[in-house]
Amino acid sequence: MKLFNLRGGVHPEGRKDLSADIPVRVLPLPKLLFVPLQQHIGAPATPVVNVGDHVLKGQLIAAAQGTVSSAIHAPTSGVIVGLGDHAAPHPSGLPVPTITLESDGNDAWITTETVTDPFALSAEDIAARVAAAGIVGLGGATFPAALKLNLSRNSGVQTLIMNGGECEPYLTCDDRIMRERALEIVEGIRLIALAVAAKEVLVGIEDNKPEAIAAMQSAVKGSEVKVVAMPSMYPMGSEKQIIQVLTGKEIPAGGRPADIGVLVHNVATAFAVQQAIRYSRPLLSRIVTVSGGAIKAACNVEALVGTPVQELIDFAGGYSQPAARLVLGGPMMGQQFSNTNVPVVKGTSGVLALTSQEIGQAEASPCIRCSTCVRACPVGLLPLEMAAHIRISNLAGAVTLGLKDCISCGSCSYVCPAHIPLVHYFNYAKGDLATQERAKLKQEATKKLAEARNERIARIERERAEAAAKRKAARAAKEAAAAAAKAEVV
Ligand code: SF4
Ligand code: SF4
């Protein structure tokens, strides 16, 4: 199959060998699970349990709130011991609303049904079951998967791309799931294709995962699904880039894949879809890579959502040397964290403990205008110019240069010989923009409320005046009639 060129991109050291060849092991059941209500893009889920309730594994504990949201289920059986705040898996580590579940050690499931012919289900039914299972994009985006299915079906998607790129260094969770669960993944892919009526189904896998490619090629035999080996390059696993390489199409600025007839899902999401449709199992766990030079025995573990990250580090033998940086996700786009009591959430692909040699913290020096960052940018932006605008607080200027199209891949920072943390500028500026946009929306909503209130007051006053005028007219008519009657008598 013809592949198209990826613009820009970099070749960071992969370090995937640390964990790639070790089969996935299931993490022992934790005693306490901290399940945040917000593990997805959109509105947080609303708890449907109370402290003291006993729940079964897979039972709904928080319902989706509105269209863009996702349901959350009990990762194991036990008792709800807290509905409060717990440290979030976020650089701030600030507490977020969380359901705390104390495991009863039985891991007892709710009653589930097995669907013998899932391909007999309608597209709407598949999407409804995916929504009920609380599935979100497991590649890191955490967009509610059912919503993506419905939007794609309605906009007439032609091509379904399954992302097995996993271009982030260190991460091997997608590699392992493809090697170990290829048949289930392919069934999930075919169900997604059915749900969106896709005409073409491609699975893109970087060519540094030959075992995963072989496993998936064997699993797709006799189906409409095609496995495509792609060159290994960062950020190949990013949505825009995988579409560009496999189809030659580019998402217009500010647009979505559906605008060009494409839907992209991650291979681990396909596994979750298969489990939900075939066995009615909600999304309760995920495979997480535990790696980095400071981890004693790097590995991949299947961890329940809500498991404290420290338990994964302990399971991997703890630290072999001091960790200079802890990261959730990959080293290029992941988030630094410091509190290891934060929980694994649906979007946690990796827990990395990196040494000071691995992060190589060099002092930033002035820009030498070498344009290396421009050549590395996969979106075709001008990182040095955008950063210059942000430095003088000219956000509008940075937006004009394409700040909103920046995918925060960090390729520009990675290659910068002056070690300028360009991507930090962009993330900071995007955070600022989001705050400004939220404030603007709030201001507009307040203005509308005030206008509606003023209109209501004016209407009430108008109605009162009209009623008073009517009463006055009626009184005048009555008095006139009385006067006329009196005059007649006289
Ligand atoms: S790579 Fe760094 S030094 Fe070179 S132009 Fe970009 S910001 Fe400047
Ligand atoms: S972080 Fe943004 S500007 Fe830098 S290379 Fe990636 S897309 Fe381009």
Q: Taking residues 215-237, what's their average pLDDT? A: 96
Helix (H, G, I), strand (E, B) or coil at 389: helix
d(C-alpha 159, C-alpha 260), whole Å: 9
Domain coverage including residue 269 = 16-288
- Note the pLDDT of residue 490: 64
* Residue 372 and residue 283 share a domain: no
Identify the CATH number of the domain in which residue 398 sits: 1.10.1060
Q: How far is the CA of 241 from the centre of ligand 2 (A)?
A: 12
Asked if residue 311 belongs to a domain, the reply is no
* Residue 79 and residue 228 share a domain: yes
10 lines ligand 2 (CB under 6 A): no
* Residue 163 and residue 55 share a domain: yes
- Note the pLDDT of residue 83: 97
Place of tokens 């189809």: 247
Q: Of 158, 166, 349, 170, whose CA–CA distance to 241 is shortest?
A: 166
Q: Phi and psi of 26, rounded to 5°?
A: -85, 130
Q: Of 291, 302, 295, whose CA–CA distance to 177 is shortest?
A: 302
d(C-alpha 399, C-alpha 418), whole Å: 24
Which are the contacts of 4, defined by CB distance < 8 A and separation ≥ 6?
A: 244, 245, 246, 247, 248
Q: How far is the CA of 103 from the centre of ligand 2 (A)?
A: 43
9 lines ligand 2 (CB under 6 A): no
Asked if residue 74 belongs to a domain, the reply is yes
pLDDT tier, 360 (very low <50, low <70, confident <90, very high otherwise)? confident
User: pLDDT digits over 362-415, tens only?
Assistant: 899 999 999 999 999 999 999 999 999 999 999 999 999 999 999 999 999 999
Domain's final residue, options 266, 288, 310:
288
409 lines ligand 2 (CB under 6 A): yes
Beta bridge partners of 298: none
Which atom from ligand 2 is nearest to the alpha carbon of 413? 4
Asked if residue 7 belongs to a domain, the reply is no
d(C-alpha 138, C-alpha 42), whole Å: 15
- Note the pLDDT of residue 223: 96
- Note the pLDDT of residue 109: 98
Query: Ligand 1: residues within 6 Å at CB?
Result: 367-373, 383-384, 416-418, 420
d(C-alpha 203, C-alpha 26), whole Å: 26
* Residue 373 and residue 269 share a domain: no
Q: Of 224, 156, 153, whose CA–CA distance to 186 is shortest?
A: 224
User: pTM for the whole thing?
Assistant: 0.88
Prior bond of 235 cis (ω within 30°) = yes
Q: How far is the CA of 415 from the centre of ligand 1 (A)?
A: 8
Q: Give nearest CA residue, ligand 2 atom 5.
A: 377
User: pLDDT digits over 249-284, tens only?
Assistant: 998 888 889 999 999 999 999 999 999 999 999 999
Asked if residue 8 belongs to a domain, the reply is no
Q: Give nearest CA residue, ligand 1 atom 2.
A: 416
Number of domains in the chain: 2
Asked if residue 24 belongs to a domain, the reply is yes
379 lines ligand 2 (CB under 6 A): yes
* Residue 204 and residue 65 share a domain: yes
Place of tokens 């827990």: 351
Asked if residue 122 belongs to a domain, the reply is yes
Q: How far is the CA of 374 from the centre of ligand 1 (A)?
A: 8
User: pLDDT digits over 279-321, tens only?
Assistant: 999 999 999 999 999 999 999 999 999 999 999 999 999 999 9
- pLDDT above 90 (res 434): no
User: pLDDT digits over 158-213, tens only?
Assistant: 999 999 999 999 999 999 999 999 999 999 999 999 999 999 999 999 999 999 99
Nearest ligand, CA of residue 383?
Answer: 2
* Residue 390 and residue 284 share a domain: no
Domain's final residue, options 263, 288, 313:
288
* Residue 378 and residue 250 share a domain: no
* Residue 390 and residue 251 share a domain: no
Asked if residue 307 belongs to a domain, the reply is no
Q: Give nearest CA residue, ligand 2 atom 7.
A: 406
Rounded percentage of the chain residues whose pLDDT exceeds 70: 100
pLDDT tier, 488 (very low <50, low <70, confident <90, very high otherwise)? confident
Domain's final residue, options 258, 288, 318:
288
383 lines ligand 2 (CB under 6 A): yes
Beta bridge partners of 344: none
User: pLDDT digits over 118-154, tens only?
Assistant: 999 999 999 999 999 999 999 888 999 999 999 988 8
Q: Give nearest CA residue, ligand 1 atom 1.
A: 416
Q: How far is the CA of 236 from the centre of ligand 1 (A)?
A: 22
| Ligand 1 pocket mutation pick from 10, 363, 367, 389 by most atoms within 8 angstroms of CB | 367
Q: Taking residues 16-44, what's their average pLDDT? A: 96
Q: How far is the CA of 417 from the centre of ligand 1 (A)?
A: 7
User: What is the DSSP track for 311-329?
Assistant: HHHHHTTSBSS--SEEEES
The average confidence (pLDDT) of the chain is 94
User: pLDDT digits over 47-103, tens only?
Assistant: 999 999 999 999 999 999 988 999 999 999 999 999 999 998 887 778 999 999 999
Identify the CATH number of the domain in which residue 47 sits: 3.40.50.11540
Q: Are 129 and 276 in contact (CB under 8 A)?
A: yes
Which are the contacts of 289, defined by CB distance < 8 A and separation ≥ 6?
A: 19, 170, 171, 172, 173, 298, 299, 300, 349, 350, 351, 352
* Residue 135 and residue 231 share a domain: yes
Asked if residue 342 belongs to a domain, the reply is no
